[in-house]
Structure 1
Amino acid sequence: MSAIVKEPSMLLQKELIARNYDAITSKHETGRKVASTFVPGNLNELLMCFGLVNNLPEINAIQNGMRKRSGDYIMEAEKRGHSEDVCTYVKADIGMMGKGAIAPNGRPFPVPDVLLLSYTGCYTFMKWFELLRSQYQCPTLMLHVPYEGDGHTTRNMRDYVVRQLQEVIIPGLEQVSGVKFDIDQLREHLRASARAEDDLVWCLEQGKRKPSPIDAYFGGVYYIGPIFTAFRGTPEAVAYYQALRGEVEARIAAGQGPVLPDGSSFDRQKYRLVVEGPPNWTSFREFWQMFSDEGAVVVASSYTKVGGLYDQGFRHDPDHPLESLADYCLGCYTNRSLPTRVDLLARYVEEYEADGLLINSIKSCNSFSAGQLMIMKEVERRTGRPGAFIETDLVDPRYFSAANVKNRLESYFQMIEQKRRSLGQAA
């Protein structure tokens, strides 16, 4: 297989992620303390106020999946008694600890100084942190975030989260770091976040164009990297999204699609899809190739919203800093009810003029997979456009069957063609 060709923004994203791993693994040389936290609802702007480096276990599992290491780590975790049905992000992380806890830069991960769990809709996160706490014996802070069961945030829910920030999280981070909280510093980070969020939303909404200058699923995982991880709220994130916007603007001017892994421009866009669910990471390039070979571009996806539904109007607000952090945690995709997710996906299908909704159901991820058949059928009913269902996993290579996925995709594209013919539409 030829070397993967990446857009300049993808290389910049890779550089930023590598820089964060260097900061994490140089803890003992620099004296900087490390916090471990998760992507949905992460409080990166707040952590930076205390000089803490942000380490994200999900990102570690993704990195190991793309590097073809997660399979061995998962087997190690299962040897230690973890069930086959447990989230494979968790098992990849636990197994990595049993095999030296080596970061992507080849250096060992240090013991974190604090575990910060801002719970957002995924029960597994709590059990995962229980395992990490047992392993590391370090302080643990939990921000309990109420579930948006009725599809919206109430004032009481926001006040409840803000009170925890004031009484539990901020005092706990002060104690761990030895740094006094400065709310004006938080406001500065939130201003930077909002600027980056504006440019990210602009880029993602260009999927409405024909041809689409972006792929909002495979390419999208690169686009969201800095803002979903340890760089939201930094000047580096602002600069990254300015550069990404410049790339997208250049492709629009040239009438081009996104760059494919083989270096070609994805201009032959035959099918436009909305995708629900995370991608498979262990066979990421092969998975992407199946779509591009058929001329299928993803114009919108739910996965690019797990770290924030910015395209629905949310921005971090420096004028209401703690309330803004609360609203962010409450509004994450994984903290939203199934009816709310249906509304969002149906709107994407309509607004992005997609041919239909494709669901990639993740075997070990109940947070995404529960209710997905209902979601697919309801979006089909509302939009009149066909849906499809494929199954893979996050980072367990045992659950990626290339032949099965390819057959289902081909059947789905045939279904789209039949739908077009019945409506008298050109391909």
Structure 2
Amino acid sequence: MSKPEAVKEASMEMQKAMIARNYDAITSKHETGRKVSSTFVPGNLNELLMCFDIVNNLPEINAIQAGMRKASGGYIMEAEKSGHSEDVCTYVKADIGQMSKGNIAPNGKPYPNPDVLMLSYTGCYTFMKWFELLREEYKCPTLMLHVPYEGDGHSTKNMRDYIVKQLKEVVIPGLEQVSGVKFDIDRLRGYLKASAKAEDDLVWCLEQGKVKPSPIDAYFGGVYYIGPIFTAFRGTDDAVEYYKMLRAEVQGRIENHQGPLTPEGTYFNDQKYRLIVEGPPNWTNFREFWKMFYDEGAVVVASSYTKVGGLYDQGFRHDPENPLESLADYCLGCYTNLNLPTRVDLLAKYVEEYEADGLLINSIKSCNSFSAGQLMIMKEVERRTGRPGAFIETDLVDPRYFSAANVKNRLESYFQMIEQKRRGGGSKTVAA
């Protein structure tokens, strides 16, 4: 019997082409004369960078790409040979090690040196140390936007004003100097309008995890859904078109009572367990990791990782009527800038609203931004919702810390726990 042909959706092909074009724009800097920035996903100012015709390169995305291509392990060992600790974020070590190995982009061409390091600090201290290392290497201007931590669980007008002041007095003049382009606030308004349109469609797609069977996987599939809006494409016409296309595909799956696509190109319809997942995924064994879930009939209906570049589902939109204030609000509300009680509130809300069977935490060995306090988060969400939690451990891009057997055993035990809870009448959810 012949194997059915794998399905590939148009949005996947479009996103792949968008990413390829951006890497080509980065690596052709010397031919085109365009300036290149390095920046991070949480709190990134993509719309503002586009106002200066600056191409956006994201070191953490490059580390993810290396992990998925099975190249990050060698880069990490190279960084450790030069003195970086085993406890350092493996995104950092993958990036540093890649620099020492020729710094080759996924298109096979070398990354050029950045013209500016644009750091929007949103709760991850590692980002600051990472850029200190890059500044020593590249000797280029570094612009830092300091974003106050929401320690009390909310932002204030003073926090917003503080960020806007930095944008006006430090970031925008710095980008003008690097690029030679004069800032045009109306140009920024246009990009923010496009961002809000794409954000509307992204939120609609993510919220379809409430449907049974879920037409999306909000963790493994979700990393693809969020790709354009969290990286170099928010504010572009391409992103607007991508999310329009993605929305139509999700709507089609709902109408056909289909689940999300798996890496095998088949629809995941036989859904037994609905999960909320906290923490980033493992990238070096991404497909194997994902397969462990759908082989057991587990679909992720909401996750915290798909909010790391913005909590759009909680109501935030980029606002062209208040452009600089909107950028400030965006940075303040990133998931990595939220305190632990706020994260607990959000995850408990997801468990209830998405009628999930429980919360699964993937604790990342080298990511303090996520892993700090996760056991407390799990226990508190269990207490509030009455649904069981579970804890697995992997790493971002270090293959030494992915134990397939250990992860599989813990997942199987967790699904047995959910079954016991159902039989005991303790779970309010019923699988579709």
- TM-score calculated relative to the size of structure 2: 0.97
Instruction: Report what 1:21 is aligned to.
Output: 23
C-alpha distance in 2, partners of 1:156/1:4? Answer: 53
> Of residues 201, 217, 222 in structure 2, which corresponds to 1:220?
222
Mapping for residues 1-400 of structure 1, pairs under 5 Å = 6-400=8-402
Deviations 1:88-114 (A, max 9, x none): 000000000000000000000000000
| Residues 292, 408 of structure 2: 8 Å contact kept | yes
TM-aligned CA deviation for residue 14 of structure 1: 1.5
SS in 1 for 2:424: helix
| Residues 6, 266 of structure 2: 8 Å contact kept | no
TM-aligned CA deviation for residue 416 of structure 1: 0.1
Consecutive unaligned residues in structure 2, runs of 5 or more: none
Distance change >3 Å, CA 323–CA 424, structure 1 → 2: closer
TM-aligned CA deviation for residue 5 of structure 1: 5.8
Letter in 1 for 2:197: R
TM-aligned CA deviation for residue 18 of structure 1: 1.1
TM-aligned CA deviation for residue 249 of structure 1: 0.5
Deviations 1:180-211 (A, max 9, x none): 00000000000000000000000000000000
C-alpha distance in 2, partners of 1:258/1:395? Answer: 25
Instruction: Report what 1:410 is aligned to.
Output: 412
Letter in 2 for 1:321: P
C-alpha distance in 2, partners of 1:109/1:3? Answer: 36
C-alpha distance in 1, partners of 2:426/2:124? Answer: 44
Deviations 1:309-342 (A, max 9, x none): 0000000000000000000001000000000000
Distance change >3 Å, CA 147–CA 5, structure 1 → 2: same
| Residues 5, 260 of structure 1: 8 Å contact kept | no
C-alpha distance in 1, partners of 2:374/2:255? Answer: 38
| Residues 346, 383 of structure 1: 8 Å contact kept | yes
C-alpha distance in 1, partners of 2:140/2:233? Answer: 24
SS in 2 for 1:236: helix
TM-aligned CA deviation for residue 8 of structure 1: 2.5
TM-aligned CA deviation for residue 76 of structure 1: 0.4
C-alpha distance in 2, partners of 1:424/1:329? Answer: 39
| Residues 213, 258 of structure 2: 8 Å contact kept | yes
C-alpha distance in 1, partners of 2:162/2:426? Answer: 54
C-alpha distance in 2, partners of 1:43/1:424? Answer: 45
| Residues 387, 426 of structure 2: 8 Å contact kept | no
| Residues 3, 262 of structure 1: 8 Å contact kept | no
Distance change >3 Å, CA 96–CA 188, structure 1 → 2: same
Root mean square deviation of aligned Cα: 1.2
TM-aligned CA deviation for residue 157 of structure 1: 0.2
Query: Which segment drifts farther, 3-12 or 98-107?
Result: 3-12
SS in 2 for 1:423: coil
Deviations 1:329-387 (A, max 9, x none): 01000000000000000000000000000000000000000000000000000000000
TM-aligned CA deviation for residue 262 of structure 1: 1.1
Letter in 2 for 1:345: L
TM-aligned CA deviation for residue 7 of structure 1: 3.0
TM-aligned CA deviation for residue 11 of structure 1: 2.2
Percent of paired sites with the same residue: 84
C-alpha distance in 1, partners of 2:325/2:380? Answer: 34
TM-aligned CA deviation for residue 55 of structure 1: 0.2
C-alpha distance in 1, partners of 2:93/2:13? Answer: 29
Distance change >3 Å, CA 357–CA 424, structure 1 → 2: closer
| Residues 10, 223 of structure 1: 8 Å contact kept | no
Distance change >3 Å, CA 419–CA 129, structure 1 → 2: same
C-alpha distance in 2, partners of 1:111/1:45? Answer: 22
SS in 2 for 1:263: coil
SS in 2 for 1:117: strand
C-alpha distance in 1, partners of 2:340/2:23? Answer: 35
SS in 2 for 1:243: helix
Deviations 1:16-69 (A, max 9, x none): 111110000000010100010000000000000000000000000000000000
TM-aligned CA deviation for residue 424 of structure 1: 7.7
SS in 1 for 2:336: helix
Distance change >3 Å, CA 60–CA 3, structure 1 → 2: farther
Consecutive unaligned residues in structure 1, runs of 5 or more: none
Letter in 2 for 1:128: W
| Residues 386, 426 of structure 2: 8 Å contact kept | no
Distance change >3 Å, CA 40–CA 284, structure 1 → 2: same
Query: Which segment drifts farther, 11-20 or 136-145?
Result: 11-20
TM-aligned CA deviation for residue 15 of structure 1: 1.3
